[in-house]
Structure 1
């Protein structure tokens, strides 16, 4: 782990003129990605690694590998839009490596205060990516939405963390829990419920749960391909990771509002799945589908069962790879048509049948078809939701059906129909595009062969 951090720091500090730094950082991130995969697949992964300031267990290690992997794919996806056009190449690669380092320190943090600091600092490089390499002037509004939503929800959490740490004298998220230390503030039941909302508020916005999700479609639409990939691939997983850590640290159970949130998350996922069907912007549709998948993940966490948490981890891994691949495809289609409108880019099957095959493969993965780990995660969610409430099987079934509906809608609208209304001269698909899509598709389907990555994580 220390070697991976040192490798990332060296790639951040390197600076040269021209594209030399771009390739240096790309190969450094590539080396780190493959080393992290080797560490995850080693036999010592689930032997708990712990020090006074850093930890790695069955929850943080898969997300750490996902961070390195998505960072590599971000560099590959930005070859044409950033490197070939020469748009502040060194600054862009530095933002990617700083974001990778920040996310890595977030997943490895053992102290709850340092975890909060790195959790919030990850917004800064993301905001720079949106403002510096976004597509339209509305990126300023998108960045403002993202900062206001996240900061307004996370500042109460900071005050609570500092207060609880002062009372209980416990800041380590592994050594002990603070349920006894915060018992004095549970004077009445309504204060207990407010405590629950404050603890989880910052992570529910970052997730995001329905009703506090409006910043995500705006950020996705205005962000460059690298910003969209890291938003969907990793930053949304910070919300799920923080939820599970807070459940462990504060021992959150027996709250009335958790039952309401459980119901709200599932029915909110149904509503966002319906919203997907009426979208006309390609990236906005993918963003709303992310909200629906993360609603399922939230239901697994709130069930407070081992099956639910394992299903949530597998869904985070599956969604990170699948939605990042869909956004990379959306960016490639945008480069060909210079439009994100579904009506403008229909009929691409006539011009790029090779790309249509990849659209089909990723849309099938998005609707949880075998052999992807999306299917395993949804199947594992069924018992955890059944144990919590049998009535919630209705929205769960609706979400599974609607995910198939909007995935097939996405494929048919973009690939079938008449010839595209506006097409620009373009060459055939390059090898780098094939490599990028293959590195997305292979892990999400072949990770089922190593299902103990998430199934052997016993809570």
Structure 2
């Protein structure tokens, strides 16, 4: 793990030259390959936990996803950043700095350092949105993102400081005894408030319904690489935080988890309905991400092994699928110069190669086999229903609406009569095929050895 961090630091500090963009791509490809090999290490007995760093299956899977998506981001940005000479070296340095921060965040066992790097990931993301965003509204989108996440994180900081004082350690492993501080049944209300305060920062980052307004704004204004990293990895920071603090703080005893559970599921239903009202491609994909993360949160709060494993699998599958959908939206935008679903019609007649990829990722988004999205939902559904039968209706609606808006996204953009100004298209080139294949391949082939991504060892 330390070798991967050193390799990534070397990539960030590569000297400025004409070849450094391609050197960084190849170095990221090498780091991605090594990180995939790391997935096999828990099966060889190399799990390690110490005061600063931790290494288990969840950390390794998310680190592999971070490297993989960072490589995809560099490939997707060649046209929009590198060709137009929009300061590509600064862009790649910010992208790789964000990659380094995320890898360190997923590797830390000290909750104080984890909080510091958790918040530090906002800075490169904000600079990417402000520097390479599409419209002047990117200032408002960046402000929304910062205010939401920082305001929700300040109570978390106070709770962390209190937990460190009570346990005399900043290691997350030592916090499992903190439940005894509220062992008196008369203080159960205090434990419920404490659990909401701890989870709030992660629920905003996830984001959960009622704290999600910053995400569609940030996605719409961000460049393609910003949207990819937001959907594929930064949202997973929230899921990772929920799973980690649930693992060590014993929140399954809290009464507040039922409220969050219900709000997550019905919020997922509402955001799925909102998807049908969107006319912007990226906004529709962003709202579908909120729905998928609501399902992931339900699995995490079910406090069962199937639920937690399904939550991790759903995070990985959503990372590949949503990142590819944002890349597809960007390719469509480069061809048609609009992201409006009302204007982007008849792409199937003009560019059928791109329509094939739209179809593959839309059915992956609705959890069609053999995608690992289906595996995650198969594991989350029973664990949620066993928590309470009252969740059956919301789960069924969410699954049905996910299929509906995925079909709506495909048919509205690919079918129908194309406007006259879309008549002349250039061909779809090889880097685009490589990018989309490298999203589709792991998202569907990991089902053959799924224990790599759901076994917590």
In structure 2, do the counterparts of structure 1 residues 178 and 354 end up closer, same or farther at CA, with 3 Å as the change threshold? Answer: same
Superposed, 1:271-310 pairs within 5 Å as: 271-310=270-309
For the residues of structure 1 that align with 2:188 and 2:54, how far apart are their CA atoms? 34
What residue number does 1:326 align with?
325
In terms of mean alpha carbon deviation, does 35-44 or 406-415 score higher? 35-44
1:358/1:293 Cα in 2 relative to 1: closer, same or farther (>3 Å)? Answer: same
User: Can you list the C-alpha shifts for 1:75-128, whole angstroms capped at 9, x where unaligned?
Assistant: 000010001111011000001110100000000001010011111100111001
Change (3 A) 1:189 1:363: same
Secondary structure at the residue paired with 1:253? helix
8 Å CA contact retained: 2:41, 2:47: no
2-structure distance, mates of 1:444, 1:64: 16
Q: Which residue of 2 aligns with 1:380?
A: 379
Q: SS where residue 16 of structure 1 aligns?
A: coil
Distance 1:180 1:418, change over 3 A: closer
- TM-superposed deviation, 1:454: 3.0
- Tell me, which stretches of 5 or more residues in structure 2 are unaligned? none
User: In the aligned structure 2, how far is the partner of 1:185 from the partner of 1:254?
Assistant: 13
Where does residue 360 of structure 1 map in the other structure? 359
- Shift, 1:55, TM fit: 1.1
CA distance in 1, matches of 2:184, 2:225: 43
| C-alpha distance 423-304 of structure 1, shift in aligned 2 (>3 A) | same
2:163–2:175: 8 Å Cα contact kept in structure 1?
no
- Structure 2 residue 14 is matched with structure 1 residue 9: no
Q: What displacement does 1:291 show? A: 0.1
TM-score of the aligned structures, taking structure 1 as reference length:
0.97
Tell me by how many angstroms 1:41 deviates: 3.2
Aligned to 1:336: 335
Matched residue, 1:38: 37
Map of 1:248 onto structure 2: 247
Q: How far off its partner does 1:450 sit?
A: 1.3
Superposed displacement of residue 59, structure 1: 1.1
CA 1:130 to 1:93, structure 2 compared with 1: closer, same or farther past 3 Å? same
Q: Deviations over 1:417-449 (max 9, x none)?
A: 001354385421110000000000000000001
The answer as to whether partners of 1:300 and 1:385 remain within 8 angstroms in 2 is: yes
- 1:313 paired residue number: 312
Match of 2:135 in 1: 136
Alignment of 1:46-445 (within 5 A): 47-174=46-173, 177-180=176-179, 182-183=181-182, 188-420=187-419, 422-423=421-422, 425-445=424-444
Cα separation, partners in 2 of 1:45 and 1:68, compared to 1, 3 Å: farther
Taking a change above 3 Å as real, the CA distance of residues 9 and 182 of structure 1, as seen in their structure-2 partners, is farther
Determine the C-alpha separation between the residues in 2 that align with 1:355 and 1:442. 16
Do 1:348 and 1:420's aligned partners in 2 also have CA atoms closer than 8 Å? no
Shift in Å, 1:216: 0.3
Tell me if structure 1 keeps the 8 A contact 2:167–2:175.
no
1:345-380 CA deviation, whole Å, 9 max, x = no partner?
A: 111111100110100000000000000011111111
CA distance in 2, matches of 1:254, 1:172: 21
Specify whether residues 180 and 293 from structure 1 end up closer, same or farther in structure 2 by C-alpha distance, changes over 3 A only: closer
Q: 1:183 to 1:391 in 2, by over 3 A?
A: closer
How many angstroms does 1:386 deviate by? 1.7
Could you tell me how far apart the structure 2 residues matched to 1:194 and 1:175 are?
21
**Cα 1:46–1:74 shift into 2, 3 Å:** farther
Matches of 2:259 and 2:42, distance apart in 1? 41
Taking a change above 3 Å as real, the CA distance of residues 347 and 45 of structure 1, as seen in their structure-2 partners, is farther
Q: Answer whether contact 2:207 2:235 (CA < 8 A) is retained.
A: yes
Rounded to whole Å, the distance in 2 between the matches of 1:127 and 1:280 is 25
User: How many aligned residue pairs are there?
Assistant: 457
Match of 2:447 in 1: 448
| Whole-angstrom CA distance in 1 between matches of 2:420 and 2:168 | 64
Secondary structure at the aligned position of 2:303 is classed as coil
Change in 2 beyond 3 A, CA 1:27/1:181? farther
Pick which of 415-424 and 224-233 moved more. Answer: 415-424
TM-score if structure 2 supplies the norm length?
0.97
TM superposition shift of 1:185: 10
Higher helix share: 2
What does the per-residue CA deviation read over 1:305-347, in whole Å, with 9 as the maximum and x for residues that have no partner?
A: 1110000000000000000000000000000011110011111
Structure 1, unmatched stretches of 5+, are none
3-state SS of paired residue (2:172): coil
Q: Distance in 2 between matches of 1:359 and 1:14?
A: 36
SS at match of 2:160: helix
| Displacement of 1:260 | 1.2
In the alignment, the residues of structure 1 paired with residue 277 and residue 209 of structure 2 have an alpha-carbon distance, to the nearest angstrom, of 17
